[in-house]
Structure 1
Amino acid sequence: MAADTFEVRSIATVVGGRKEPTDDFWGETRSIIRLHPEYPVESLQGIEEFSHLTVVFHFHLVSRAEEHIGVRSPRNNPEWPETGTFVHRNMRRPNRLGLAFPRLLKVDGRDLHVTDLDAVDGTPVVDLAPWFQEFAPQGEVRQPSWPTEMLRDYWKTSPNP
């Protein structure tokens, strides 16, 4: 049976912030999520009441040829265990979708000013919503140690301590 396919259109575009993706140092990166003109500005009414957003975006700088399906060590570090495609949270996924939870700083018409959005200038946003605490994971959260080690510099502001 073939996989289902469907069309997804972007609703907004990331403006500003970083020009190129990097593995670390995304802390305090400021950018704008600019809602496309075909969506009325009223579709954002009330969003300013929330501190954080849930943003689904497309890794548009990654080609199909760069996808990795299978097993590999995170960031190709042999000290970390080989794990499957759906254990990695990187841009080389089959649909090249990313998920982020940036802080909403202010709303200016169609522009949502955010910080800590790990998407680059020009990134298509396919969906956004306010973050509801009630949708946070329920119960105890567990994970192996390698993600904590791998991401220790992810939200730092620069390579200097």
Structure 2
Amino acid sequence: MRWRLIGGVIGVLLWSAPIYAENPGQSPQNLRRAAINSICLNPVGVVKKQGSRAWLEVFPEYAPALAGLQDFSHLWVFFWFHGNDNPEERRTLQVHPRRDPANPLTGVFATRAPVRPNLIGFTACRIIKVAGNVVEVADLDAQDGSPLLDLKPYIPGGDAIPEALTPEWLKRSKPPAD
């Protein structure tokens, strides 16, 4: 009774045993199985980068989903950290943020590190142009060839949190020069 991945890096996770959510006194594993019977991540496109230029090439069947995106100045890009998709990187649960040993060892859920149990990344980008099934963007923090999982418009009233707090290490550290 284990999860198995079907379809490569991003495919379908299937649980190989039946789920009985109504059983009282369930173990945490049973609760997890009841909450997530299967997960399907279907890439909707791929990141293309050349120097400082970047494009989000959406697969043709998803091109209609781009309608109206040109009316926004920015968007959130959700992608798969495919360059870190190996068992060792997925087991990494603590890092020095921004790859700076001066920063405290911190859990990956409290960082934006690309190593994590599920390699879902996201970044905010400026939209330059939407044409056909391609979105040209600026400020994309993803690698060439990264599978696109989703695109969502950036909505200042809902996405900005002016009173958000951050730890001291973030205030004094600089991003890595990658």
Q: TM-score range by the shorter chain?
A: 0.7 to 0.9
Q: Measure the CA separation in 1 of the matches of 2:58 and 2:166.
A: 35
Q: Measure the CA separation in 1 of the matches of 2:129 and 2:91.
A: 37
Question: Residues 76 and 151 (structure 1 numbering): CA distance in 2 closer, same or farther, change over 3 Å?
Answer: closer
Q: How does 1:1-161 map to 2 (within 5 A)?
A: 1-2=28-29, 3=32, 4=36, 5-17=38-50, 29-39=52-62, 41-62=63-84, 63-152=86-175
Give the alignment's TM-score, normalised by structure 1: 0.78
Q: What percentage of residue pairs aligned between the two structures are identical?
A: 32
Which residue identity is paired with 1:114? V
Give the alignment's TM-score, normalised by structure 2: 0.71
What SS does structure 2 have at the residue aligned with 1:120?
coil
Shift of 1:153: 6.2
Which residue identity is paired with 2:108? T
Q: Measure the CA separation in 1 of the matches of 2:95 and 2:111.
A: 9
Whichever of the two has the greater Rg, that structure is 2
Q: Measure the CA separation in 2 of the matches of 1:75 and 1:126.
A: 24
Aligned pair count reads 144
Shift of 1:57: 0.5
- Please say if residues 15 and 31 of structure 1, whose CA atoms lie closer than 8 Å, have aligned partners that are also in contact: yes
Any unmatched runs of 5+ in structure 1?
A: 19-28
Deviations 1:128-156 (A, max 9, x none): 011111222445122123223333566xx
Q: Pick the structure with more helix per residue.
A: 2
What SS does structure 1 have at the residue aligned with 2:109?
helix
Deviations 1:8-67 (A, max 9, x none): 11101111236xxxxxxxxxx32000111222x322111101100111100011123222
Which residue identity is paired with 2:50? G
Q: Measure the CA separation in 2 of the matches of 1:97 and 1:34.
A: 18
- Please say if residues 99 and 176 of structure 2, whose CA atoms lie closer than 8 Å, have aligned partners that are also in contact: no
What SS does structure 2 have at the residue aligned with 1:117?
coil
Question: Residues 75 and 10 (structure 1 numbering): CA distance in 2 closer, same or farther, change over 3 Å?
Answer: same
Any unmatched runs of 5+ in structure 2?
A: 1-27
Q: Pick the structure with more strand per residue.
A: 2
Which residue identity is paired with 1:96? L
What residue in structure 2 maps to residue 23 of structure 1?
A: none
- Please say if residues 47 and 142 of structure 2, whose CA atoms lie closer than 8 Å, have aligned partners that are also in contact: yes
Which residue identity is paired with 2:46? T
